[in-house]
Each structure stands twice: as C-alpha cells, then as structure tokens.
Chain A
C-alpha cells in the first residue's frame, strides 16, 4: 500500500474514532450590512425584513429558521441565509437606501466549513491563539480571529447538550489551506 493511502486510512480512523466530521456547506447568501445601531428606524426595518434582531452585544449572533445575523463590529453585521430566498437582499437595499446604510452582497467572498465532533475544540486550538472554551462559551457565540494566518469568523452552532459544531467562515481562496491544516491536525490527535 502506498504511504499516502496509509496516511489517509489512518486519518479516517482517527476521525471516525473521534466522530469528527468536516464538510463545506452548499452556497449561502451573505450580506454585509452597515448602519448606525442608534438609528431606531433602520434597526426596526432590518428586524422586520430579517425577522430576527441585529445583535448589539459583541461576539454574538441571532437566528431564526432561515436567517442568521452575525455581529461583526458595532455598526457592521453579516446576514447569512439560504439560496432560495432572494427577496431579503432586494428588500434591505430598497428600504435602507444607500445614504446612511450600506448593503453589500458578499456571497461569493466567503465559504463555510462546518466541523463537528466531541473533540473539535482541542483540534481547532492547534491553530488558534484564542481560548475557544471562553470565546465560544454560549449557544449564540461567534468570534472573529486568525486561523494560523488567515482571518476567519467562527460561529458556534450547537446547543449546550449537543456535540460541538463550529462553522468556519473563510475566504474561498483560503478554504483549502484551512481544510488541509485541519486534516493534518487530526494525524496526531491523541486523546
């Protein structure tokens, strides 16, 4: 057997043993939203269209069945929703205008790698300077940081009693790099 095949088998075994799953999510619409959080009119327009609030609390996100609105900075949010609902972008753009707010379609900018499994915090910690236990402590936590050298947005997806599941939002051009690093990191996971 080739060395490469042996390695792949070994990695598969480790991943199976630890129930680690990695997948790239299918295409999601993403909108970068910038507006003044003190503008109540704009905030309520967004709330009506998205049917969820824009979180003011740093490093959190809010969601309903189809939309996630993620805090990026005090006046910036990332809105993520499924492919089939095109109205959100058009509605936001129409109702908010482009003078005091900005609505930008950045769907193609980032892709999402979803990783789940009971020991993924240990696995991901190999590449992060961040304390995941602290920064992804609640059900609606998200955090922007560096993954080795790549800027990423990490989003915790699981409830407290479920297996940990983290979405990694990353530039498309860096996705392969991150994926390979994670696979490489599983080689010497010895827990």
Chain B
C-alpha cells in the first residue's frame, strides 16, 4: 500500500486507483501491414521492469482521470507524476541491486523455471 498524489484530488490511498499498465505504448499506424508477431508484440508484450517503470494510472474512485506515473516497482517509490500526452521525462533513480543478482527485466528470478507437468 502506498499513497499517490492525484494531480486533481491530491494525496490519496492507492486503493482508490487502478493501474493501467505500461505507458507510452504507441499504436502502430498501419496494423494491416504488420505480421502476427509484431501485432502480438504491440498487444501483449510488456516490459514489467523491476525498478523504474513508466505506468498509466486511473483515479477510478475519485476524479476518474488518467495520468502517468514513474514508479520504482521494487520500492513503490513514486518519482514523478505527469499528464497523459506528455513526453516521458528523464528520470535518474536508484535502482536497487538485489543480493541474488536477479535480472531487472522479469518479475521472477533465475530459479523460476517452467516445467511441464506430466
């Protein structure tokens, strides 16, 4: 649980908000020219960074407005809040290094492997 400073309503509890996933994903201009892989990439593939991530949030139980948030997903520290439509800001943050040296990309770590059950 953490607090989010809604640009319109002020500081509120996280439970009032919904996260809309990664920000700054641009819809391809000519979807018909894309291969299935490229289209799937646009639709489904998200970075899911452990560290500083650019996200869209909606104040669903308040003013119902969308805005962008730069959040450190490892510490839940919010580094910047800016409007939809604005360019992604340059953010210098402290990306914590985990003791086990987990990769930054991916929510799991090396030990998580997918094994087919028989």
What residue in chain B is nearest A152 (Cβ atoms)? B61
Some 8 contacts from A to B, beta carbons below 8 A apart, are A58-B8, A58-B10, A59-B9, A59-B10, A72-B63, A144-B62, A144-B63, A146-B61
* A10 beta carbon closer than 8 Å to chain B: no
Asked if A73 and B15 sit within 8 Å, CB to CB, the answer is no
Q: How far is the CA of A73 from the CA of B65 in the complex (A)?
A: 8
Mostly helix, strand, loop or mixed at chain A's interface?
strand
Residues of chain B touching chain A, judged by Cβ–Cβ distance below 8 Å, are 8-10, 12-13, 15-16, 61-65
Contact of A151 among B9, B10, B12, B61 (CB under 8 A): B61
Contact of A130 among B13, B64, B65 (CB under 8 A): B13
Asked if A144 and B8 sit within 8 Å, CB to CB, the answer is no
Contact of A58 among B9, B15, B16 (CB under 8 A): B9
Q: How far is the CA of A106 from the CA of B15 in the complex (A)?
A: 26
Asked if B63 and A73 sit within 8 Å, CB to CB, the answer is yes
Q: How far is the CA of A145 from the CA of B16 in the complex (A)?
A: 7
Residues of A within 8 A of B16 (CB): 129, 145-146
What residue in chain B is nearest A74 (Cβ atoms)? B8
What residue in chain B is nearest A144 (Cβ atoms)? B62
Residues of B within 8 A of A130 (CB): 12-13
Contact of B15 among A72, A76, A129, A143 (CB under 8 A): A129
Contact mask for chain A residues 52-71; partner B; CB cutoff 8 A; 1 contact, 0 none: 00000011000000000000
Asked if A74 and B65 sit within 8 Å, CB to CB, the answer is yes
Q: How far is the CA of A58 from the CA of B8 in the complex (A)?
A: 7
Q: How far is the CA of A130 from the CA of B12 in the complex (A)?
A: 7
Residues of B within 8 A of A145 (CB): 12, 16, 61-62
CB of B34 to closest CB in A, whole Å: 36
Residues of B within 8 A of A73 (CB): 8, 62-65
Residues of B within 8 A of A58 (CB): 8-10, 63
Q: How far is the CA of A129 from the CA of B63 in the complex (A)?
A: 17
Residues of A within 8 A of B9 (CB): 58-59, 143-144
Q: How far is the CA of A74 from the CA of B62 in the complex (A)?
A: 11
Q: How far is the CA of A130 from the CA of B3 in the complex (A)?
A: 11
Q: How far is the CA of A58 from the CA of B15 in the complex (A)?
A: 20
Q: How far is the CA of A39 from the CA of B37 in the complex (A)?
A: 46
Asked if B15 and A146 sit within 8 Å, CB to CB, the answer is yes
Chain A, range 138-191, C-beta contacts under 8 Å to B: 143-146, 151
Chain A, range 2-19, C-beta contacts under 8 Å to B: none
Q: How far is the CA of A146 from the CA of B14 in the complex (A)?
A: 11
Between B9, B15, B65, the greatest number of chain A beta carbons within 10 A of the residue's beta carbon is seen for B9
